[in-house]
Each structure stands twice: as C-alpha cells, then as structure tokens.
Amino acid sequence: MRNRWRYLVLLLSVGLAAACTGVDGGEGGDGEGGGSYPRAQTLFTSGTQWGAPVNWNPIMNWTYATGTVGLVYETLFLHDPLTGEFEPWLAESGDWTNDNTYEVTLREELTWTDGEPITAEDVVFTVNLGEMKSVPYNELWKFLDSAEAVDERTARFTFSEPRYQQWANWVYFSPIVPKHLWEDRSEKDVTAGANENPVGSGPYKYEAHDQDRQVWVKNDDWWGKEALGLDVKPRYVVDLVNSSNEAALSQLLAGEIDLSNNFLPGIADLVKGGYKLHTYFSQAPYMLAANTTWMVPNTTRAPLNDPAFRRALANSVDVGKIVNSVYGQIVSPADPTGLLPIWDEYIDKAQVDRLGYSFDTNRAKSLLAQAGYRDTNGDGLVENKDGSPIELTLATPSGWTDWNESARVIAEGAKAAGINLTSETPADTVVQDIRESGDFDLILDNQRQMDNTPWRYLEYVFGLPIRESQTTVNYGRYENQQAWDLVNQLDATKIDDRAGMKAVISRLHRIQLTELPMIPLWYNGLWSQASNSVWTNWPADSGDAPRLVPTMWRGYLQRGAIKMLAELRPAEQQ
Amino acid sequence: MTAPEPVSGESGPEVAAVPGVATVRGTGVRREALYFAVRNRKLVGGLAVVVVFLLAGLVGPLLVGDPLAYVGPPAAAPSGEYPLGTTTFGQDVLAQLLHGLRATFLVGTVAALIAGVIGMLVGFTGGYRGGLVDEVLNMITNIVLVLPVLAVLMIIAAYLQVRDVLVQAVIIGLFSWPWVARAIRAQTFSLRAREFVDLARLSGMPVRRIVFREIAPNMASYLFMVFILLFGGSVLFAATLDFIGLGPTDGISLGLMLNHAKQWSAMNLGMWWWFVPPGLAITAIVGAMYVMNVGLDEVFNPKLRET
Amino acid sequence: MARYFGRKLLIYALTFFVAVTINWLIPRFMPGDPVRAMVARAGLQTPEGVAAMREYYSSLFGFDVPVWQQYLNFWGGILRGDLGVSLLAFPEPVTSLILGAVPLTLGLLIPAILLSWWAGNKFGAYAARKKVLDNAVLPVWYVLTATPYMWLAILMAWALGKVAGLFPVGRPYSASLVPEWSWLFITDLVSHWFLPFLSLFLVAFGGWAIGMRNMVIYELEADYAHYLSSLGAPPKLVRRYAFRNALLPQITGLALQLGVIVGGAVVTEIVFDYRGLGYLVLEAIKATDFFLLQGIFLFIVIGVLLANFVIDIVYVLVDPRTRAGMGGDR
C-alpha cells in the first residue's frame, strides 16, 4: 500500500507538469521546424515589452506590442536621427506647395495586407482621427485647417498657422491606418481598443502572441522589397517579454536573445569578455545617446524658484560619479543645454562656455553664499533666506534601480554643497501623480527621445500655458512667456532653414542657461546589446556596419531601425 | 479537535513538538535546567553562532564606513583590502553585511516581541477566560491564521511604501502572532486546571495576577522558545520582502543586499561574493536559533535528553 | 461531524470576507491614482483630451460611483469572476492574466508540497530511530529549513544553472519553442521546471523531516509505547503506531504551512524568471497595478482556503477519533 502511494505521488507530479503545456499552448507556429521557430531564421529581441503584449493598436503609441508600428503599420516618411535625413516611405514625396499647404503623394501600388489598396483617403482619414480629443495628435488640429484627398495618391493639407517642425514630426512618427477597417470605430475603440489581428502594410504580419512573447512573420508581399530594394532577413521576429534586465542578460549570454534593448549593468565588461556581444560603439560610452535625463526643479516652490539656487544645485551634482560608478561608463554627461549629441550643430558653444556650469562643490557653496543662503543654525546645511530650514526631496520611481542609485549620488553631492536634499523612491504611479500635479520638489525625467527637431526639447522645457495638470511638458511649471513665444517661432521655422533655427535656439538657450528651468544631467543610452552568434552586421559606428539606431523600442523603427532588419546577415555556421 | 496542536507555524516549518510544560518552580529545578543547559551541545553551539553574529552586527558597523559609499574599485573580487569584495558600484560588501546584520537582528527582535506579546495576550485571555471572549478571540485567531501571511505582507508593504526597518518589523509582527495565540491558549487551558491555579483563585487573586504570576512563569521556557521561532520566521519574512523590492527604502539589510545583487545581475556577472554572504548569514543565524531551540527543548524536557 | 465542518466553513467564509475587504480597502487609501497614471502614459497634450481619457478610465475602473457602491460592485465582480482590468497589461482582464499563470505555479507547488511532505515524513521517521543517521542529517535539515527560499534558489540557479550548465535558468520553456504536445517541448518544459521545483522541495523538506523526527521521538517516549514494548510487541509495530500518531499533527502542520510555501513559490519564481503567479505579483508591484495585485491576492487566499478545507477533510478521514464522531473544534 505504501508503494502505491509513492507511485501515485510521482504520477501526479508528472501529470501536473505535463498539464501546463496544454494550457499555455494553442497558438503559434505554422508547423515549420517541428514546433519551434527555426533558430537561423528567427530574430529574438527583448527590451521594449515589459508586460504581456495585449494590444496592437498603433494609435496607443505608449503601449502597443513591440513592432506594431514599424513592422506592421507604417509611416509616410522615415526619419534617421543619426543623419537628420527624412526618407520617403509610404510617401513617394511630400512638399510644401506654398507657405500654408502641404501635399503628400503616395507610392504606386501600395496595398494593405488584406489586399485593399492604400490610398490618399487612408492618409486623410488617419489625420482626421486626430480630431478625436483622446488621440495623441489631437494638437495637430489647432493649426491644421483641412485635410483632403486630391486624387488616389495625393493628399493635401491646408494650415491656418503652419508649424513646420511639428508637422515634420507627424509625417514620420505617426502611422497610417486603413480607413476601410477603422472608419466605423468609436473613439474608445480608436484610443483604447486592442485592435486584435492588426492589418497593416509593413514587412511583417501578426503570427502569434503569448504572455511572454510577440511573434511576427515576414510579409512576403511587402511593397518595400521592390520599391526600396529592402529585404528583411529574419523570417520570424520574436519579441520576448522580460520584465527584469537580469533575465534579459541571462538570455542574451545564453544566445537565446539576439538583440536586447534592456539596460544591462556591467555590459562594458562583458563586451570585452568574449561573449560575441556587440554594442554600437566598441568602447565607452558603448551606446548612442537616446534621451536626456533632466533634473526637474519645481520652480513654484522656494528656494527652487530662485535661479541662483538652481544654479548652485546644478553645480553640486557629481555627474561624473553617476556616469562612471552607477552606469559603469555606458552613458555620458549631458551638455548644459540638454540637447543630444545629434543636435550638436544647434548648440552655441561660445555661449555655453560663458553661461554653462559643471560639477564644482566649492562653486556651488559660493553661489549659495552670494545669493544669500546661509547656514544659520550651524548644521552644515544652508537655510532659506528667511531663516526657515530647507528640506528638499528628489523623487525617483521605486524599482528604477539606476535612477534610485543616481538620485542617491545627487543627494550626496547636494549635501556636500550645503543643500539638504534627500532621495525618495515612491511607486511609479505616485511619481507620475506628483509630476503632473506639481506636488514635488525635484524629480528626474527623460521622456523626450532623439527626434527630428530640437524644438521637441525646447517645447518640453518651456511649454506654456501652465495647467492644473502638466501632462507632457514643463513639469517644473516654469513660466516665461518670452521663451514660449520663441519656441513657437522656432516651431514655425521651416525645417531646412537651419540658420533661422540656430538663431532662435541660441536665444532660447541663453534664457535656459541663465534661468535653469531644468537641469540636464546625463544622456541615457539607446540601450542595445546584440549577440553575433546567429545574426551579424549589427549597426555600429565603425567599418562597413550600417549606421542605424539599433533598437526595437516604440517609435524607433520609423527612426530607421526597420532598415536594420534588412541589413542583418546570418552568422557563418561553424 | 482533540488532537494535539502542533506548535509549528507561519514562522518557518519548525515543529518544536509539544513540549511538556516544565514546572519551573523552585530553585532546585532551575539549577538543574542550568546544569543541563551548559552541557547541551546544541544549545551552546547555537548560542555561540548567534552571539558571534550579534556582536558582529552590534560592533561591526562602528568599524566600517558608510555601507552605501563608493569606496573601492567596481566589482572587485574578495581581497585583503576588501575581504568580501565590492559591489558593481564599488561599495564594500563587508560593510553592507555588518550593517545588514544589525537590521536583521532589529527586525527579528522587534517583530518577535510584537507577535509574542499579541499572541500571549490573546492566548492567555482566551484560554483563561473561556466562554464568549474565547470564542471571539479564537475566531479572529483562526482568520488571521488562514490568511496567507506573506501575501498579506506583500499587499501591505506594496501600498505602505515601507521606509525603514522598524515599520517593516511592526507589520511583520502584527501578522505573525496567531499560531502563538493558539498554542498558548491550549497551554493555558491545561494549566488552568492545575491545583496551584485553583489555589490562587481561591485565595482571591485577581485574574491578571493569576495569569502573569502563576501561569506565565510556568510557561517561561515555552515562551522563550516561541520567541526564538518568531525571531527566525520574522527574519525570513523580512528577507523575502526585501528581496522582492518591498523592503525599507532607507539603509541596508541582508535581504536588500540580495535584492541589489539580483537587480544588478551579480549572478550573470559571476559576482558570487555579493549574493553568497548575506544569504549565508541569514541561514546561519536562523539555523543556529532553531538548533538552540532544540537544545532548549531538551533542557526543559527531560524525556528528550540524550543519554 | 456536521458541526465540525460547519464551524470550519464559517471561519473560512469570514476569512474570505475579511480578505476581500482588506483587499478592497487598501488601494483606496494609498497614494497614487491609477486613472491619472493611465492617462499620463498616453502623453496627451490637450486638457480636453486628458479630461476625456480620465472620464473613460474612471468609468472603466468603476471609480465614478459612490464608495459604498464601489464596494458592492467589487463583490459583484468577484462573484462573477470579474476582477477588473489590468493596468499593466491594459486592456487585458485580470482574470485571464491570472489563469494564464496559475498552471505553472500549481505545477511547481503541488509536487513540491506533496513530495516534500511525503519524503520529509518518511525520512524524519526513519532518522528518529537511527541515532547515527539522526546526528548526521539533523543539522542539514536545520540549515535547509533556515534557508531563505530565494537564496537557495539563487545558489542553485547560479551553481547548477550558470556554472555547471546542467539546467536552463529562466522562463518556463525555451523561447524558440512553440507550446505543443511534443517530446521536445515536454522535455524542455521539465528541464526548466526542475530547478525551481527542487529548491522549493528542499527548503520545505527540511521542515517536515524535523517535525516528523521530533514527533516520533515524543511518541516513542509516550506511555503507550513503553507499555506496548513491555508487553513484548515487536519494535516495528510500536514504530508504526508512533508514526501514525505523529502523522496527524503533520497534516495540520501542512495546512499551517501552505501560506508560507506559497510565499516561497513567489520568490522562487522571481529568481528563476518562471512566469507563474509569483512573477505576476512582482510585475504588479513594480507597475503598481492595483487590480492585478488585488486579483492575485484573492486568488491566493481562495487557493489556500480551499487547500485548508481539503486538509480538514483528509484529517477527518485519517483521524479515528474524529471519524468516530467526536466533532467540535476542541
């Protein structure tokens, strides 16, 4: 009897283990390779998707499954931030026919993957969706008058007040959706619907998804093969959900992932360590700069409402320590203007030399003294001008380990200069909450990515008007009408008028560098670690390798990363 | 249920069986217990380990610097200068360990005291009073007993944003008492029926004094063992919470060290010196406590003494 | 008997009620507004857009009705099996996320609990009667039971997974495989399952073994055992009686330990990146996904309550005294 027990338990456990398979299964695979995606024809990626893929809605550009825009839905143009060039994609051409009118012509014989042709009607329809309040590009209709299809392939847009920079941003960033499948959808479906079985026009089609992955299969009839001469190499693109960087690193080292766009600490050592790992630069900082991490002071609160105090604070931050010790040199210090290296030409170097700042604790101390902040109670920390104690907190979302650690370093530096600053790590949602409502002292933020125009950064710094809830720009609630007028002037500058842009930007930077409404600290990397074991010819800054942004992050495929898939080569079989 | 209650509990799968209630009255017995105590290898050995770690936790932090400061080269393996190596940032692992030990003892002690006191109050009251009071208390005990404690702690810690070790200790303490209450209630039941309690009652002693003067001392050995089990369990709970990122946001603890080591990929980067010592320390302390517990059991319960 | 089960059921019902209420209450008193968080993610610029979105999410999450009605709706939802919509994986319902993760967790937990209980009792009873063996293995068991779950998991993942390369670490099955009934897939699944299972098994095993060993020693020292021996009963028979008597508290112990082992499974899954409930818990915590966290918590409570009830039934079946009708919770 006792023996029977034993077998029963064993049987039970084996049965249970087996039972798991039945529940998870069901989808995926067209039978090729006997239940697995053939390794040599599959690209495994990770680092965009933090939870299960649950929607394929290109309008929800903050949450769609990795690849929804770029692999499936496409944009009119591509913009390569590394070269600053626009490249016609769905569009054959797009031009301002006069100051207020823009005409875009589509390529010939484009089709959706359900066989319907892509026409100017689809483009007009997509722009019209922006009239819905909750569509992210609703702002467009503040300066756009009308959108109309002139013929099958040509759409015309008439602007009441042309904003060339913003429109240029739209044409490469926002995907076109098929009118015939979307025209009956309600606003809720458009901005919060899952859009299962996405029908797009791109080089890949939906294949399968599961809690931990999104699988795309190559679209053999993609228009770009002929029109662009581009052939995407991987038959399957499998994007794996990894919520922890540690898991992603483990899979990358095991060769299970080809491209990891996670922040992987310690990668600098591994690149040198013979793991067949590849990064864009072969030495520090290893990664391209993707966005600027800003320290945002709440300019409505004393003493942060005092530019002199903000300047002292800026001087107290040991950015070098953050770059070297926290990040292990995979990031680089930011320019005092906060503009990314790709916008180097827009930075007025002489002005930065004159008005900029750098880490210097003593300078921070003397700035505080000059501005009238003194240590009246002898605790080594300065008080407000009225004698009340200064107690500032820097909030970073808990679990954002690199930021939490950096915040600690910032607080340490501030204390050394005599500013009582402590680091706090509330939940992510709490940080979002206080960021929007303005109920904070200092936060870190890096939402603005590399883009087609520095206008995006300056709008972010100076955006007005201040509302009850600041959702996307100017979290520090810095009010400067003159600066905001200049930002709008920049927006209305034509994108090929570089000299005009530079002049406005230089004036804006003079305000920015004297007032310090936000304090740029370091450039976050375009985290990208590739394995050469299955695919090679990853983007790099040297040799014959393609110069492209090597990432699957949302919004980056239309920044040129899609071409990376066509440049890949299968690794030599050993 | 008439079956004997196991004195195992939420605090680690430790089952101290049902110790006979040693009658600790009279100096003769006490001296006898001491005689066996110093000769019990489990007790002495366990105590030695705990004391060593306790001293390290008390004195150590005074000898090392700020555990979070970047002092050494990044990710250095153990060496003469940094006996336990350094973290990714160049923090001294030994300094973190010593500070972490302090936090561990703090969590264990505070949580065990809180849980012990609540458990005793509920158990004594229910067991001695009986009737409706007992019914209600027993119901509450059973409810908290069935709740999956770790899940509850996770929920609370996630929402509360635990700042420091003390808050964490309080939360753990507040949810670890039910098995204590249950066991003590059972013990009180049986003690209540003994003659010396009846005597006390006849002499007009108030209830509170009967419980604390007559019943509690007779369970002293048992209560001490309960404390040890609670300590061990609380330390493990705290380490678990810290590990999944629900630990204190200020300072350092052994669980936080494990959490950091995982988040910064110590395993993949081969930095064993970052994650082995903290776990080893927890295991050693809690293990030594459990062994001590067995030793104590043997001291107080003659039947179990090795012959 | 009926009274005994009636009482138990009443306690479970009350526990459930308390758990649900705590669960409903806590997020409503804590900082951080899920609606605002959802809207923030959308990055809308115009105040009209923000207002529209906010209204939409408020009604979706049921925040647009009075508090008492929210509480009733919460109960209604639970009874219908509707735990709301996840924030993390919007617009996926919480229930479907949980159901996707549960098989993996149960696949770890049930074998680990049953096998460790069974093996622990066996070895514990065996060691209790072999002095030499007892002295040798007892310290090992104490070390095991004092080991934090995640640390043992980390050590095993590192030593057996990374360094020795014997078992894969991370995810329930290889990324390149399509889930299906094939030999390849099942072996892959089992090899990913083994390490997390083993680490859970080992920690629990130590506790059961110690418990059983102590119980058997007590029982062997009990009067009835001496009496039996003096009557000339063979030692084997005496031991069998001792084992059977010692087993009863171990069954109750199983009920008490369930919560702890479930907690252990949570952290073990996190270490091994095993995508069950534990992994989901961490996800929900990181993203402050109130609804998902609530759902998982409820699920665990229900699971533990059900398991407790099953154990109660087993207890009654095994214990001759309760079988004879001596009901009542003491």
Position with higher pLDDT, A307 vs B132: A307
Q: Quickly count: other Cβ atoms within 10 Å of residue C187's Cβ.
A: 11
Largest CA distance in chain B: 73
Angstroms from A365 CA to nearest CA on chain C = 36
Least confident of A234-248, A537-551, B9-23, C1-15: B9-23
Q: Give the end of a domain, one of C80, C103, C128.
A: C80
pLDDT for res A2 = 42
Show the domain range for C32.
2-80
**C73 has pLDDT over 80:** yes
Lowest mean pLDDT among A201-210, A291-300, A432-441, C234-243: C234-243
Amino acid C31: pLDDT: 63
Are the CB atoms for B33 and B24 separated by under 8 Å? Answer: yes
User: In whole angstroms, what is the distance from residue B40 CA to residue B222 CA?
Assistant: 17
- The whole-angstrom separation of Cα C144 and Cα C126 is 18
Probe site for chain B from C145, C269, C279, C280 (most B CB atoms < 10 A): C145
d(CA A538, CA A534): 11
Token pair, residue A339, equals 């503009």
Please state, in angstroms and rounded to a whole number, the distance separating the CA atoms of residues A482 and A486: 6
Residue C86 forms part of a structural domain: no
Which residue has tokens 């407000």? A384
Cα dihedral value C172, C176, C177, C183, nearest 10: -90
For position A214, what pLDDT does the model report?
A: 93
Res C325: pLDDT: 44
What residues of chain C lie within 8 A of the CB of A9, using their CB?
Answer: 111, 114-115, 118
CA distance A467 to chain C (A): 8
CB contact under 8 A, A36 and C176: yes
Q: Does B287 touch chain C (CB under 8 A)?
A: yes
* A472 pLDDT higher than 80: yes
Q: How confident is the model at residue C20 (pLDDT cuts 50, 70, 90)?
A: confident
Report for A147-151, A395-399, A469-473, B21-25: range of highest mean pLDDT: A147-151
> Rounded mean pLDDT of B284-305?
81
More confident site: B91 or C293: B91
Select from B158, B245, B282 the Cβ nearest to the Cβ of C293.
B158
Task: Pick the residue from chain C with its C-alpha nearest to A213.
Answer: C175
Which chain C residue is nearest to residue A131, measuring alpha carbons?
C49
Lowest mean pLDDT among A154-158, A253-257, A328-332, A361-365: A253-257
Q: C9 and C128 in one domain?
A: no
B-chain residues near C269 (CB < 8 A):
none
Between A265 and C197, the higher pLDDT residue: C197
pLDDT of residue A517: 95
The residues in C 200-259 lying below 8 A from A, measured between CB atoms, are none
Q: How is domain A77-188 classified at the CATH fold level?
A: Dipeptide-binding Protein; domain 1 (3.90.76)
Q: Is the pLDDT of residue A273 over 90?
A: no
**Site from B68, B87, B89 to mutate, A interface, most A CB atoms within 10 angstroms:** B89
Q: Do C47 and C167 belong to one domain? A: no
What is the longest distance spanned by two Cα atoms in chain C? 92
Of A54, A428, A432, the CB nearest to C89: A54
- What's the token pair of residue B202? 């006849």
Question: A525 to chain B, minimum CA–CA distance in Å?
Answer: 17
Q: What is the mean pLDDT of residues C18-31?
A: 75
Chain C neighbors of B18, CB-CB under 8 A: 218
Residues of A with Cβ-Cβ distance to B264 under 8 angstroms: 246, 265-266, 401
Shared-domain flag, residues C167 and C57: no
Q: Is residue C58 in a domain?
A: yes
Does the beta-carbon distance from A425 to B249 stay under 8 Å? yes
Query: Which residues make Cβ contacts (< 8 Å) with residue A204, sequence separation at least 6?
Result: A67, A71, A72, A216, A217, A218, A219, A232, A237
Q: Above pLDDT 70, what percent of chain B?
A: 85
**For residue C236, is it within any domain?**
yes
Structure tokens at B258: 């494990």
Whether residue A269 and residue B264 make contact (CB cut-off 8 A), yes or no, is no
| pTM reported for the whole predicted model | 0.86
- From A95's Cα to the closest Cα of chain B, the distance in A is 49
- What average pLDDT score do residues A470-497 get? 93
- Per-residue pLDDT tens digits for A315-346: 999 999 999 999 989 999 999 999 999 999 99
Tens of pLDDT along A217-267? 999 999 999 999 999 999 999 999 887 888 888 889 888 899 999 999 888
CA–CA distance, A158 with A127 (Å, rounded to integer): 12
pLDDT of residue C16: 85
Instruction: Give the model confidence (pLDDT) of B68-82 as tens digits.
Output: 888 888 888 999 889
Residue C89 lies in a domain: no
The domain boundary, picked from C54, C80, C106, lies at C80
Residues 109-138 of A with CB under 8 A from C: 133-136, 138
- State phi, psi for A524 to the nearest 5 degrees: -65, 145
Cβ–Cβ < 8 Å for A205, A216: yes
Could you tell me if residue C27 is inside a domain? Answer: yes
Q: How far is B260 from chain A (nearest CA, A)?
A: 8
Report whether the peptide linkage leading into residue A465 is cis, meaning its omega lies within 30 degrees of zero.
Answer: yes
Residues 88 through 117 of chain C touching chain A, CB cutoff 8 Å:
88-92, 97, 100-101, 103-104, 106-107, 110-111, 114-115
Region B3-26: mean pLDDT is 36
What number is the average pLDDT over the span B123-136? 84
Residue A203: pLDDT band (50, 70, 90) is very high
Most confident of A20-24, B226-230, C289-293: B226-230
pLDDT for C56: 81
Q: Residue A266 is encoded by which pair of tokens?
A: 């310690």
State the pLDDT at residue B305: 58
- Average pLDDT for B287-297: 86
Comparing CB atoms, the residue among C172, C175, C184 nearest residue A251 is: C175
Whether C139 and C212 share a structural domain: yes
Q: What percentage of chain A has pLDDT greater than the value 90?
A: 70
Is there a contact between B15 and C211 if contact means CB atoms under 8 Å apart? yes
Residue A551 clears pLDDT 50, i.e. is over it = yes
Q: 3-class secondary structure for B182-202? A: HHHHHHHHHHHCCHHHHHHHH
**What is the third-level CATH fold of A39-68+202-282+527-573?**
D-Maltodextrin-Binding Protein; domain 2 (3.40.190)
Number of CB pairs < 8 Å for A and B? 52
Q: Would you state the pLDDT for residue A573?
A: 62
C38: pLDDT strictly greater than 50: yes
How far is residue B147's CA from residue C304's CA, in Å, rounded to a whole number?
8
Interface check B147 vs C, CB under 8 A: yes
CATH number of the domain residue C100 falls in: 1.10.3720.10
Any chains having at least 3 CB pairs less than 8 A from chain A are B, C
User: Which of C288, C290, C291, C318 to mutate to test binding with chain A, by most A CBs within 10 Å of its CB?
Assistant: C288
Please provide the average confidence, as pLDDT, over all residues in chain A: 89
Neighbours of chain C (3+ CB pairs under 8 A): A, B
Own/partner contacts of C310-319, CB < 8 Å, gap of 24 or more, are: C311/C251, C311/C252, C311/C254, C311/C255, C312/C5, C312/C8, C312/C255, C314/C251, C315/B1, C315/B3, C315/C248, C315/C251, C315/C252, C316/C1, C316/C4, C318/C247, C318/C248, C318/C251, C319/B3, C319/C248
Query: At residue B176, what is the residue type?
Result: S
Percent of chain C with pLDDT over 90: 11
| C176/A251 touch (CB, cutoff 8 Å), yes or no | no
Averaged pLDDT for residues C27-44: 71
Nearest to A534 by CA among A281, A238, A162: A238
Residue of B nearest to C305 (CA): B146
Is residue C162, in this structure, part of any structural domain at all? Answer: yes
Place of tokens 């920015």: A512
- Asked if B267's CB is within 8 angstroms of A266's CB, the reply is no
Residue among C31, C149, C297 whose CB faces B155 most closely? C297
Looking at the 3D structure of chain C, how many domains does it have?
A: 2
Q: Does C279 touch chain A (CB under 8 A)?
A: yes
Nearest to B88 among A328, A424, A426 (CB): A328
- Residue A351 confidence (pLDDT) above 90: yes
Which chains sit next to B, with 3 or more Cβ pairs under 8 A?
A: A, C
What is the CATH class of A289-525? Answer: alpha beta
What was the pLDDT predicted at C226?
Answer: 82
For the residues A126-143, what does the mean pLDDT come to?
90
CB pairs under 8 A between B and C: 221
Q: Give burial (CB, 10 Å; 0-12/13-18/19+) of A144.
A: buried
What's the pLDDT at A24?
39
Q: Best-predicted range by mean pLDDT among B215-224, B236-245, C77-86?
A: B236-245
Return the higher-pLDDT residue of B40 and A447. Answer: A447
> Which residues are CB-contacts of B212 (< 8 A; sequence separation ≥ 6)?
none
Which residues are CB-neighbours of A212 under 8 A, at least 6 positions away?
A52, A240, A241, C171, C275
Q: Give the pLDDT confidence score for residue C329 in this predicted structure.
A: 41
Residue C195: per-residue pLDDT = 93
Q: Are C262 and C213 in a shared domain?
A: yes
Using alpha carbons, list the distances in angstroms from residue A83 to A80, A450, A527: 6, 12, 19
- The residue ranking higher by pLDDT, A510 or C55, is A510
**How many angstroms separate the CA of residue A327 from the nearest CA in chain B?**
8
Residue C9 belongs to some domain of the structure: yes
Q: In the listed set C52, C80, C108, which residue is the last one of a domain according to the structure?
A: C80
- Are A71 and A550 in contact by the 8 Å Cβ rule? The answer is no
> Which residues on B lie below 8 Å from C11 (Cβ)?
139, 142-143, 146
pLDDT of res. C302: 84
Closest CA to A397 of A364, A343, A433, A353: A433
**Which residues does A206 contact at the CB level (< 8 Å), separation at least 6?**
A56, A72, A197, A198, A216, A217
Give the pLDDT score at A27: 37
Instruction: Report C:132-191 residues touching A (Cβ under 8 A).
Output: 162, 168-182, 184-186, 189-190
In chain A, domain spans:
39-68+202-282+527-573, 77-188, 289-525
Does C87 map to a domain? no
Range C237-248 average pLDDT: 82
Residues C54 and C176 in one domain: no
Q: What is the pLDDT of residue A561?
A: 94
Q: Name the token pair of C154.
A: 């980390």
Using 50, 70 and 90 to split pLDDT, how confident is the model at B27? low
Report whether A374 contacts C261 (CB < 8 A): no
The answer to whether A441 and A304 are in contact (CB under 8 A) is yes
pLDDT at A467 over 70: yes
Q: Do C148 and B236 touch (CB under 8 A)?
A: yes
On the 0-12 / 13-18 / 19+ scale of CB atoms within 10 A, C132 is exposed
Chain C touched by B150 (CB under 8 Å): yes
Say whether pLDDT at A22 is over 60: no
**Is residue A504 predicted with pLDDT exceeding 90?**
yes
CA distance A465 to chain C (A): 11
Q: Please tell me whether residues C208 and C260 are part of one structural domain.
A: yes
Nearest residue of C to residue A210 by CA position? C100
- CATH fold match for the domains A39-68+202-282+527-573 and A77-188: no
Q: Quote the CA–CA distance of A221 and A108 in Å, as a whole number.
A: 14
Report whether B35 contacts B302 (CB < 8 A).
no
